[in-house]
Structure 1
Amino acid sequence: MKLKRRQCFSNIAKCAFLLALLAVLVLLVARMWHPSLTAPFGLRGSPGTCRDEGDHANQSSVEEVEEATNSHGKKNDTITGVTGLQEPGPVKTTQMKGRDFNATLVHGLFPYIINEPAKCQGGRATPFLVFIITTVASEVEARSAIRQTWANQTLVPGVAVLRLFLLGKLGGELGGSQQRMLQEESAEHHDIIQQDFVESYNNMTLKTLMGLHWVARYCPHAGYVMKTDSDMFINTEYLIHKLLRPELKPKTNYYTGRIIEHELAHRDKKNRWYMSEEEYGKAEYPAFCSGTGYVLSADLADKILRVSLATHIVHLEDVHVGLCLSQLGVKPTKTSIWLFNHYHVPFTRCMYSNLITSHQITPKELLQYWTRQQKNKNICQRMGLGNL
């Protein structure tokens, strides 16, 4: 009798083992054919699991998808940001279906992590010019040099100038460390704004839209906005007194910079400015101004934002702004070709006294050039040596 019981238990154990083996095989087959079915089990890399936030920093073409959420807790449409430059993909947004248009205009495409909503309030003079400057968290030295030079808010007596540095967010341990340092820098200087989207070259458009949203929402009565980058020399005094002229009423529907016309969309994936036909179907872009530095009348901030929310966002931010303004019927205003330079201009004191932008300037060069240009800066103009 005991022998029969042992045989029975042995058979049950064998059956249980076979059933367990069969279950594992079924699970593996299910994962192959329907990956989403395995998500609740927490398999690494499957949908629904928590991936290491630092992974994207070491991969050249990993897509990070962030869900935009407004302050009412409603999810906005997802926007894809691509890290790295080798395989840039489209920054996609669907139409306004399911999105609260007015709430997005108020709160922005993404939640603010760092904001300075009161910089234009509290009895302060309305800014004649707002600089919105794209940067990344690690560019501490560049931001310091900019604060000491062309974006010094007391540089031009009697003219209110405001600067804002625009940033996205990095994940992982490095991102966490940089975020803490950024919070400390923000507490000291109050000139940083940041939203909760992935920090990436291909999300530069989102940075610019964040800056324009900030102007439209928190500083709508400003005169002008200049979008520029952190590796630029800007001759602020020339820009204000010679081009914009604060003694005059600010223009409207005004857009100027280094104008690029008849530019063909680059279809070669190896090109830094690659644009797929899916993202932009036409062969040629409308005229636009180089993203290294362009000027807008502040009334255009809200108008560009509204067009962006109802259309497809492309990842080349200067092209995107040009596309929006083309839809609005706003064409770039031409200026001297010597003023806005999207390349590095060799330094001479007279040359830099009579231009507005020069590109690819290191923080060390910026401090050196600025000191030399500021010394006796009016001599070149009095002697008629503006092109030297």
Structure 2
Amino acid sequence: MDGSMGRPKILKWPPNEATPPLCDQVGHSLGVSCFRSEAPRWIQLWSVAPRWIQLWSVALLMGIMMFLYNSGFGLSSLRTWPSSRSDRTSAEEEQDDSAFYVPYPGSYRLLIDEPERCQQGAPFLVLVVPVAPGDRTSRDAIRDTWGGLRSLQGHGVQLYFLLGSVAEGNGTGLNRSAQEQLLQESRLHHDVLQSDFVDSYRNLTLKTLLMLEWLSSHCPGSAYAMKVDSDVFLNVPQLLRLLRDAPRRSFVTGSVQRRAEVLRDARSKWYLPRSAYPGTHYPPYALGLGYVLSMDLPRRILTVSARVRALYIEDVYVGLCLRELGVAPHPGHMFRAGLPRFLMPRCYWTEVITTILRDSEQLLETWKTYQKQLGYC
């Protein structure tokens, strides 16, 4: 070791010669390190750098990676497509693809409606939450938190819950007891919309298309509509600030997916065979957790839906219709799928627009935190 420098000496050999076997033995006895001359210069510099520089460089690199991970730049979120894929066999590809579409258009009727509220109120923003008929807990939690905001910054806001029907145990007819409870809830809150299709995950596209029908016929004076899932925290004031300067036509925003790969693995929740969708990637679309539409789009999407067969993957299908219209969704960095993995910013809840939560209990707790953050952020 060189006492003056505090680092090992480097013993080099001619460029084109292999390091002699004796080098390690001699180097050890003399307190020197042996390097082949063809080793990259940066490797030599790194190996002889003081330990504090090495540790500082590693810490800096980890900090940059954590920032990018939390910020969501190019990284996966809770609702992106799974990475594991496998090809289907030719026999599986030949199966009937009708199971991958929803029955639309069709003859559907509203069982519970608010026929005049939106037209008379002409809210600036209409919030529509698709939710299961039996999930009263989620509906009440939303009413007690972000859904209870009726007017902000001079703009009216209206909330509606969109439901399908509750079938009897044998799958035929309506469950009369559950239906009566929904009618009582509707009379109390005047925010329930229910159609007579069977409420299920595979019918989410159908539910969204019926939502667009209702919006186009009931809310002619509104500027924007937002479809938002029942397990999402929504920062309505932040959303209104975003929409204040947004275009009033051909505008879509949310957490936008680009070049999402079509999954060919039948085990995936979002599997599609080539017979149903031959392309390898989907067009850009906003994740279904929450996206905003300017109010000219519901009717236009319904128009092109006549020539775009209704895939069961709801947010992808809306993206397909938008491509047909020539409308590109605007990425919204404040629409977050999940919570930060590591460091939670001090004012996180006042800065974001959406975040997926675990359940209604977490929403109630998050709302308390959000109210506190409003006082100092």
Matches within 5 A, 1:1-388: 89-93=99-103, 110-122=108-120, 124=121, 126-154=122-150, 156=152, 158-173=154-169, 175-241=175-241, 243-245=242-244, 248=245, 251-336=248-333, 339-345=334-340, 350-377=347-374, 379-380=376-377
Cα pair distance change 1:93/1:178, threshold 3 Å: closer
Cα pair distance change 1:131/1:345, threshold 3 Å: farther
1-side partners of 2:355 and 2:124: how far apart? Answer: 22
Maintained 8 Å contact 2:150/2:158: no
Maintained 8 Å contact 2:254/2:290: yes
2-side partners of 1:137 and 1:344: how far apart? Answer: 27
User: Once structures 1 and 2 are overlaid, which stretch shifts more, 229-238 or 166-175?
Assistant: 166-175
Name structure 2 gaps, 5 residues minimum: 1-96
Q: TM-score, normalised by structure 1?
A: 0.66
The superposition leaves residues 79-124 of structure 1 with CA deviations (integer Å, 9 ceiling, x where unpaired) of xxxxxxxx99312458xxxxxxxxx7xxx851111111111234x3
Counterpart of 2:338 in structure 1: which amino acid?
A: Y
Cα pair distance change 1:299/1:334, threshold 3 Å: same
1-side partners of 2:346 and 2:292: how far apart? Answer: 24
SS in 2 for 1:274: coil
1-side partners of 2:98 and 2:357: how far apart? Answer: 22
SS in 1 for 2:194: strand
Q: TM-score, normalised by structure 2?
A: 0.68
Aligned residue pairs: how many?
A: 275
SS in 2 for 1:196: strand
Name structure 1 gaps, 5 residues minimum: 1-86, 95-103, 381-388
SS in 1 for 2:255: strand
SS in 1 for 2:163: strand
Runs of 4 or more consecutive aligned structure 1 residues displaced over 3 Å after TM superposition: 173-176, 344-349
1-side partners of 2:345 and 2:98: how far apart? Answer: 38
1-side partners of 2:313 and 2:127: how far apart? Answer: 19
Maintained 8 Å contact 1:205/1:320: yes
2-side partners of 1:155 and 1:88: how far apart? Answer: 44
Cα RMSD (Å): 2.3
Counterpart of 1:176 in structure 2: which amino acid?
A: R
2-side partners of 1:328 and 1:226: how far apart? Answer: 19
- The structure with more radius of gyration: 2
Cα pair distance change 1:93/1:366, threshold 3 Å: closer
> What is the CA-CA distance between 1:145 and the residue it aligns to?
0.9
Counterpart of 1:203 in structure 2: which amino acid?
A: N
2-side partners of 1:277 and 1:136: how far apart? Answer: 31
Tell me the percent identity: 38
Cα pair distance change 1:345/1:161, threshold 3 Å: farther
**Greater relative contact order (CA < 8 Å, ≥ 6 in sequence):** 2
Cα pair distance change 1:240/1:88, threshold 3 Å: farther
SS in 2 for 1:120: helix
